[in-house]
């Protein structure tokens, strides 16, 4: 990806690429872009604010709404049972 510098001296391509990668990183740490439903039934948990096609994500709600965090890993109670239950369901274990 070629870099472009805007008038304020910021690298717009790299900034956009970084923003897109963060948007695809779910609060639980999974990469939404690697999910079989991404782009078909889902736009990613951050875009959908935890309102997934299958229902409300308990991990997103706990992390973002209840605790005001960006990622579960930032929580003092990480790795909790809510996280483990959702991750094992998400990855099919």
**What are the extents of the domains in the chain?**
12-90
pTM above 0.85, yes or no: no
CA distance 51 to 58: 10
Q: What is the mean pLDDT of residues 69-76?
A: 95
> Tell me, what DSSP letter sits at residue 63?
I
Q: What is the mean pLDDT of the chain?
A: 80
**Residue 18 pLDDT class (50, 70, 90 cuts):** very low
Are 44 and 32 a contacting pair, CB within 8 Å?
yes
Token pair belonging to 68: 């005001």
CA distance 69 to 67: 6
Residue 28 has pLDDT above 50, yes or no: yes
Q: What is the mean pLDDT of residues 3-9?
A: 55
């Amino acid at each position: 990806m070629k870099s472009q510098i805007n008038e304020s001296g910021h690298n717009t391509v790299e900034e956009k690429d970084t923003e897109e990668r963060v948007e695809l990183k779910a609060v639980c740490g999974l990469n939404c872009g690697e999910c079989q439903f991404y782009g078909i039934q889902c736009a990613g948990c951050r875009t959908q604010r935890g309102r997934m096609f299958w229902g409300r994500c308990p991990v997103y709600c706990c992390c973002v709404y209840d605790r005001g965090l960006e990622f579960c890993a930032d929580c003092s109670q990480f790795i909790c049972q809510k996280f483990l239950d959702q991750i094992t369901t998400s990855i099919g274990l």
